[in-house]
């Protein structure tokens, strides 16, 4: 499912796989911890569900973050 399809669902699904294109998010910072690259990212949308929410991108998977930007929970969003 695309980001547009996800945001326009009539009956929301729980944890669908949502493919995010590289032009749909902005990387604000990158840090390397061991062999792992963590990117702080924001979605390029005005939708109130996602606008201004920081996510952590590790590999191709997006995670929610705590107030310090550390990854918490896996989300339904992936990139390619």
For 27-45, write each residue's pLDDT tens digit. Answer: 999 999 999 999 999 999 9
pLDDT in tens, 6-33: 999 999 899 999 999 999 999 999 999 9
Count of the separate structural domains present in the chain: 1
How many other β-carbons are positioned within 10 Å of the β-carbon of residue 41? 23
Residue 41 CA to its chain's centroid (Å): 7
Q: What is the pTM of this model?
A: 0.90
Report residue 66 as tokens: 């705590």
For residue 5, what pLDDT band results from cuts at 50, 70 and 90?
Answer: very high
Structural domain containing residue 22: 3-79
């Amino acid at each position: 499912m695309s980001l547009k399809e996800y945001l326009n669902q009539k009956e929301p699904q729980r944890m669908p796989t949502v493919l995010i294109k590289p032009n749909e998010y902005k990387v604000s910072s990158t840090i390397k911890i061991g062999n792992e690259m963590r990117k702080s990212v924001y979605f390029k949308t005005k939708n109130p569900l996602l606008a201004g929410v920081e996510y952590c991108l590790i590999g191709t998977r997006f995670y929610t973050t705590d107030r310090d930007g550390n990854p918490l929970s896996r989300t339904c969003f992936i990139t390619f």
